[in-house]
Structure 1
Amino acid sequence: MEAEVVISGNVGADVEWRTDERYGARASFPVAATRRGLREGKWVDLDTTWYRVTCWRQLAMHVIESVKKGDAVLVNGRLRIDRWVDAHGMPRAEFAVDATWVAPDLRRGTARFVRARLRPEASGPAESEFEAARNDAEASCYADQAGANGAREGADERIDDPWAAHDPWGGDPDENGVIGEAEASGGSHEAGEAEEADEALEALAS
């Protein structure tokens, strides 16, 4: 079973980080969602449902830096039911969410947004295996993003440069600023017309 859901709850444990050969980065954490109900004129907590939330790639890197145990969060993603048999032979099941986005629940607190930027290479060795793995995942994700941004910027420069869009000579000048004969052939017709006009003027003058 899979469905698109938005859940509201509290993070039940610290975020777990893992590297993944295919996706580069993975972060997961449990979320407890507790229903509220009106009982004898008072709002009280009802049953609690637990979800295992999994984040991938760049979202995972932002989650490991932002989400802590006890935080009130909103999670959007695809809901499924994972089933397995434990070490004692008992069937188990849990709700799992592959997250599309994760956000703080601003109904229950405040937050400050910091826009993600391309990070420079680390200036020194990583302090732990975790940091080394995270740095490798970040380098992969941010390199892909930088390449895409560079391609878009290059396309914009070509569009903004009128000589890149239309070169009247059909070629580029050499280091002395001179266009080669083969490239300058486009101007031979105009030069011939100018010579004919000069000859006609000389004939009239004589």
Structure 2
Amino acid sequence: MAYGINRVILAGNLGADPDLRYTQTGQPVLNMRMATTEPYFDKEGEKKERTDWHAVILWNKRAEALAPILRKGSQILVEGRLQTSTYDDREGIKRYKTEVVATNLVILDKKNGGGQGRDEHQPSGSPGGSTDDIPF
């Protein structure tokens, strides 16, 4: 039997403050709305942008740890899998909901403790090193 791969990686911004809730058994779950924006060119050659919205959920201790840190506008990178569920709305119509179940979340903006790139004031050589001893 052949198995498939269900893996998604998104980088974007939170569209609202995340919502931390607990299941009936006390398991923490963090619900987030995430926007990803991609540039494209239309038929006339004008640069446009398209924004897609994604529902992201994060479970357990990581959900509790990240809830007080993340805010609307936070830049994040999410890795996880897609999960689709069905439910009946108030009128009895069957609806489908696709969510990203996050297995990893990285905060990208520096103001929230992310930004794993090097500091802009640090030379690109070895940490704490000087650029004076570069021979070229």
Cα distance 1:14–1:101, how it changes in 2: closer, same or farther (>3 A)? same
CA contact (8 A) 1:25 1:58 kept: yes
Residues 15 and 90 (structure 1), Cα distance of their counterparts in 2 relative to 1, 3 Å cut: same
Measured in 1, the distance between the counterparts of 2:97 and 2:13 equals 17
Residue of structure 1 equivalent to 2:105: 102
In the alignment, what sits opposite 1:26?
Answer: 29
Q: Secondary structure at the match of 2:68?
A: helix
Kindly indicate whether residue 46 of structure 2 is the aligned counterpart of residue 38 of structure 1: no
**Residue deviations 1:146-203 (CA, integer Å, cap 9, x gap):** xxxxxxxxxxxxxxxxxxxxxxxxxxxxxxxxxxxxxxxxxxxxxxxxxxxxxxxxxx
Contact 1:30 1:51 in 2 (8 A): yes
Q: Unmatched 5+ residue regions in structure 1?
A: 114-206
Q: Among 14, 18, 43, which residue is 1:15 paired with? A: 18
Q: Equivalents in 1 of 2:99, 2:38: separation in Å?
A: 18
Q: Aligned to 1:51, which of 42, 54, 77?
A: 54
More helix by percentage? 1
CA distance in structure 1 between the aligned counterparts of 2:91 and 2:26, rounded to whole angstroms: 32
Rg larger in 1 or in 2? 1
TM-score, length-scaled by structure 1: 0.46
Label 1:23 to 1:77 Cα distance change in 2 as closer, same or farther (>3 A): farther
Structure 2 CA distance for partners of 1:32 and 1:25, relative to 1, 3 Å:
same
Count of matched residue positions in the alignment of Structure 1 and Structure 2: 109
Q: 2:79 aligned to 76, 80, 83, which one?
A: 76
* Residues in 1 aligned to 2:98 and 2:31: alpha-carbon distance in whole angstroms: 13
Which protein has greater RCO, CA pairs closer than 8 Å, 6+ apart? Answer: 2
Aligned-residue RMSD, C-alpha = 2.5
Counterpart amino acid of residue 14 in structure 1: D
Question: AA paired with 2:48?
Answer: V
Counterpart secondary structure, 1:67? coil
Describe the shift of the 1:68–1:57 C-alpha distance in structure 2 as closer, same or farther (beyond 3 A): same
Q: Decide whether aligned partners of structure 1 residues 61 and 8 sit closer, same or farther in structure 2, where only a CA change above 3 A counts.
A: same
